[in-house]
Structure 1
Amino acid sequence: MSFQRSIVHMDLDTFFVSCERLLDSRLNNKPVLIGGTSNRGVVASCSYEARRFGIHSAMPMRLAKQLCPEAIILRGNSGIYTKFSQNVTEVIKDTVPLYEKTSIDEFYIDLTGMDKFFGCHKLASELRQRIIKETGLPISFGLSVNKTVSKIATGEAKPNNEIRIISGSEKPFLAPLSVKKIPMVGNVTYKALCDLGVKRIKTVQDMPMELMHRVLGKNGLVIWKKANGIDNSPVVQYHERKSISTERTFNKDTTDVTKLKGIIVAMAENLAYQLRRGNKLTACITFKIRYSDFQTYTQQQRIPYSAMDHTIIPVVLDLYQKLYNRRLLVRLIGVKFSHLVEGGHQINLFEDNEKQLRLIEAIDKMRVRYGDRAVINAAGMDAKSISRWNPFNGEPPPLLANRRQ
């Protein structure tokens, strides 16, 4: 027997600001900006009170200060937010059988078939209340037959509320909303749609599918389906183990510490770049070393969510130092990042100055254009090619474990 799907999208309201307010109640009801605190910094998150002044995410902090001089500006602390995110995840994990954590503050929950035992809306409401009670964080949700409609409904429910879209009413619910509300419609696509005179979702609903395909290609088809409330994508069970990794087996076992350090830096740098390309963050780093006698040792360390070289590389090198035994020849080394979630861009905006952020963005652009190793850390220059596998493009990885130097 097939059940009609019941998909919940839950999103923590102004998550970073809400975490800071839990730690300092004096921030309640005040305009709060979070991000790089210098004049060259960028806004990563802002409270609803600050949004009333026209402030938004990714705006230069300098401009935000001009728009709202009385705003309280805080440097983002990903360690605190990681902890609160884990608290919310624990409550969800403890309550529902199937959930997907898509970012530090966002979840999809599949309650299909649960209405046999109790109402899905009642269950989702009770879960929301439990999260608010146990973590102190405000959270909103949308409930519908699929991910797209539920995510859009959450946006309409905010702040700190819930909306249920009854099956069959997806199209009328979506019709009056801006096409910008459709997930995957960014600024560039929005401009292209506006140039066509398309501003509301209803206009897309009324357009022939072929026209959308002709104008925007494959993306046009996806947007047309989403605008019509069609989305069959499943909720994928979240596993803390979701990871990317790379290993290097040496042709000849080595004790050359300079060479080892260079390859480790190159591996960590390349994996961090792959994270940023996929807009992912890692919260757990593992280092692996195998000696010539085939004894293998691994050590891992939890970190605040990050995708930045200067945060990640020192942790990898520290794990290497803890495991390395100078008396033995090394046969293999490996680096793994796990506990991955979406949301890299937002967390990266905590960087204290725009200069560093712009530099890494410029380097990444060059890598996209000229290859992963076009720009590399000086310490990693002696390492020959490191995996060019992009773990977020759906292709299977090459066999890295036997890659020879």
Structure 2
Amino acid sequence: MKRAIVHIDMDTFFVSCERLRHSELVGKPIIIGGGERGVVASCSYETRYYGVRSAMPMKMALRLCPEAKVIRGDMEFYTQKSREVTEIIKENVPTFEKASVDEFYLDLSGMDRFFGCYKWSQQLAQSVVKNTGLPLSFALSSSKTVSKIGTGEAKPLGKLEILPEETQPFLNPLSIRKIPMVGPSTYQLLSRIGIRRIHTLSQMPLDVLERLLGKNAQDLWRKANGIDLSPVVPYSERKSISSEHTFSEDTMDTFQMQSLLNHMVEQLCFQLRREQWLTSVVSVKIRYSNFDTESRQMKIPYSAVDHTLSHIVKELFKKVYTRRMRLRLVGVRFSGLVHGSHQMNLFEDTEEMIHLYQAMDRMKLRYGKNAVGRASGFHFS
């Protein structure tokens, strides 16, 4: 059966959400992000014209486009709109993957016999726009990689179908930077030996690439040749990560419990960032000495940062621990996961805070997850 994979990307999602609430922002240069010492979480096409990009320091962005209007951002509202888009897709698509808060893959393989995948995708896109008010672009091809590249080429407000026989002619003239797995360092390495276009990369002998790039060479070469058999991973709100601790002796020591909760949150947040997840549901569970078990959960804006999630966990713990009775177990669970960079949630934080998390994560990756941490959680490290 011929594969039919659609990639949907909401156009400048955070900016579009703000324009829904404030129509006077339409057509104006917009930057979503923190204060002067923060970073750009999202920006409108009007600011991109001046070179502004996501994750750029705010100071630099405002030097490039001083007339831009800066909005601190409302992740709770963006999360709500993301869920609205997800629900529409869920109602209409048999198999889809939520790749991030504003990005989806749909597997429509086999549907062309009944309706036509491209026409069906157009109607779904129209339904999303009509019901949410948010613009989007999509591309249809036989693989996730080609469709994602296609969406990037179609933006903004674009719709593109890339037939199997058109795949290589479509890819060939594009920069290798268009391939999702090519970051700045890989691009610099390849460009130094004259590989800047996908056509050149697709023609390179595989053994030469392997000597240059190691284990990633084969996957990169395949994608340059339009070959990507990776499946659309069905989306499920049930995805979660969790941590539980059973005390050696039942306890009412709240200082010990707070220290343990801090440690759990820190370890789980590191896992979220390492695996590029964001959580939207936080749960806290306790078990009393008589084995009664209770839990509380809260839906939150997507996040993966310790200080935000630690505060929520502490609040949930206060609400669930209501009896003056010893505890034998506490647990923390993050669910409602989607893929995405934790930086998109740092509207309130400084560039220094972002760099601190990145530095801590690098140390943990190199020396182990307990190599560095907050003093409040060291009791259980």
The bucket for the TM-score relative to the shorter chain is over 0.9
Q: Give the TM-score normalised by the residue count of structure 1.
A: 0.92
Q: Does 2:9 correspond to 1:11?
A: yes
Deviation at 1:349?
4.2
Listed as ranges, the matches of 1:231-250 within 5 Å are 231-250=228-247
* Letter of the 1:74 counterpart: I
2:32 equivalent to 1:34? yes
Question: Tell me, what secondary structure is at the counterpart of 1:305?
Answer: strand
Contact 1:255 1:326 in 2 (8 A): no
> For the Cα contact (< 8 Å) 2:243–2:333, is it kept in 1?
yes
* TM-score normalized with structure 2 length: 0.97
The separation in 1 between residues aligned to 2:210 and 2:357, in whole angstroms, is 35
The Cα RMSD (Å) is: 1.2
Amino acid at match of 2:41: A
Gaps of 5+ in 1: 386-405
Task: Please state how far the C-alpha of 1:368 moved relative to its aligned partner.
Answer: 2.1
CA distance in 1, matches of 2:342, 2:295: 30
Q: Which stretches of structure 1, 4 residues or longer, exceed 3 Å deviation after superposition?
A: none
Aligned-pair identity in percent equals 55
Structure 1 match to 2:179: 182
Q: Residue in 1 aligned with 2:206? A: 209
Which of 278, 285, 301 is the aligned partner of 1:288? 285
Shift of 1:369: 2.4
Structure 2, unpaired ranges of 5+: none
Residue-by-residue CA offset, 1:122-168 (whole Å, 9 max, x unaligned): 11110001001110101000100110111000001100111000122
The CA deviation string for residues 170-190 of structure 1, in whole angstroms up to 9 with x for no partner, is 111100000000011010111
Instruction: Give the conservation status (yes or no) of the 8 Å contact 1:35–1:352.
Output: no
Give the secondary-structure state (helix, strand or coil) at the position aligned to 1:355. helix
What does residue 252 of structure 1 align with?
249
Q: Secondary structure at 2:248's aligned position in 1?
A: strand
Structure 1 residue aligned with 2:145, among 145, 148, 156? 148
Aligned position for 1:271: 268
For the structure 1 residues 344 and 91, does the alpha-carbon distance in structure 2 shift closer, same or farther, using more than 3 Å as the test?
Answer: same
**TM-superposed deviation, 1:346:** 3.8
Q: Does 1:21 align with 2:19?
A: yes
Q: Distance in 2 between matches of 1:324 and 1:57?
A: 41
Match of 2:365 in 1: 368
Matched, 1:225 2:233: no
Are the counterparts in 1 of residues 252 and 325 from structure 2 also a CA contact under 8 Å?
yes
Q: Distance in 2 between matches of 1:81 and 1:307?
A: 15
How is 1:86-165 mapped onto 2 (pairs within 5 angstroms)? Answer: 86-165=83-162
Report the Cα distance in structure 2 between the residues aligned to 1:59 and 1:260, rounded to whole angstroms.
39
The one-letter amino acid of 2:195's match is V
Contact 1:351–1:357 (CA under 8 A) maintained in structure 2: no
Residue 378 of structure 1: how far off its partner (Å) = 2.1
User: SS of 2:164's equivalent?
Assistant: coil
Contact 1:177 1:201 in 2 (8 A): yes
Deviates more, 1:250-259 or 1:89-98: 250-259
Q: Encode CA deviations 1:183-225: one digit per residue, 9 max, x unaligned.
A: 1101011111101210000001111222212211111111100
Equivalent pairs, count: 381
Question: Shift in Å at residue 326 of structure 1?
Answer: 4.2
**Which residue identity does 1:83 align to in structure 2?**
Q
By how many angstroms is 1:377 displaced?
Answer: 2.0
Aligned-partner SS, 2:379 = coil
Which residue number corresponds to residue 353 of structure 2? Answer: 356
Structure 2 counterpart of 1:24, one-letter code: H
> Does the CA-based 8 Å contact 1:288-1:333 persist in structure 2?
yes
Q: Which residue is equivalent to 1:196?
A: 193
Distance 1:193 1:154 in 2: 24
Greater CA drift, 343-352 or 333-342: 343-352
Q: 2:295 aligns with which of 298, 322, 335?
A: 298
Separation in 1, partners of 2:226, 2:343:
28
